[in-house]
Amino acid sequence: MKTQAGTVFLDRDGTINEDVGYLSDPDGLILIEGATKAIRLFNERDLKVIVLSNQSGVGRGYYTDAQVHAVNLRLKDLLGREGARIDGVYYCNHHPDVDCQCRKPLPGLVELAALEHEFDSKRSYMVGDKASDVGLARNIGAKGILVLTGKGAGELEGMEEAPDFIARDILEAAAWILADIERPLL
């Protein structure tokens, strides 16, 4: 019998791929070492993998939604070549000054994902390189893991709420998550 597995929400830039700053060109996408393996581990454990990304570059006029889609497609393609699967990608395209409900740490993207995927956010995980990723985890009752890739190391200072775990990178985050799932509930 399959246990009802949780879901792993992943930030994109600085977590799965290098944060080059407002990435708009699919050819500029570089996977962070271990990202493919980490996502494969989630796939093998039957954990749904959903990417949640703030892409204010659209709202700022730096690039278009079509370019975001092209980068996301490239990401799925690069991962897929190594047998790693992403189940969904959702992003906020708003300018930070816009009063939207989907810019992390607000939970709008998770609500959007819930229309297409079944998951229990309280049994889920959010992995990202920013305080807003950990904040989102708090807001949906999930466990939040900060990775030190991307902006992670800089974000650690002055973070109001401690993450449940601080990982060197996404692969170490994956190892922690898999162990956490096996941990018996007290």
Q: Which does 129 bind (CB under 5 to 8 A by kind): Mg ion, Zn ion, none?
A: Mg ion
CA separation for the pair 112, 72 (Å, rounded)? 17
**Minimal distance, residue 153 CB to Mg ion, in Å:** 12
Dmax over CA atoms of the chain, in Å, equals 49
In what side-by-side order are the strands of the sheet with 88-92? 88-92, 48-54, 7-10, 125-128, 143-147, 165-167
Find the binder of Zn ion among 102, 134, 170, 177 (CB under 5 A). Answer: 102
| Tokens, residue 51 | 């990417």
- Does 113 bind Zn ion (CB under 5 A)? Our answer is no
**Residue closer to Zn ion, measured from CB, 94 or 143:** 94
In the complex, the smallest distance separating the C-beta of residue 91 from Zn ion, rounded to whole angstroms, is: 8
Report the partner that residue 89 touches, choosing among Mg ion, Zn ion, none (CB closer than 5 to 8 A by kind): none
Site for Mg ion in 12-51 (CB under 5 A): 13-14
Q: Which of 100, 156, 175, 181 binds Zn ion (CB under 5 A)?
A: 100
Q: Closest separation between CB of residue 183 and Mg ion, Å? A: 27
Is 65 among the residues known to form the active site? no
6 near 124, Cβ under 8 Å?
yes
Q: For residues 186 and 173, what is the distance between their CA atoms, to the nearest angstrom?
A: 22
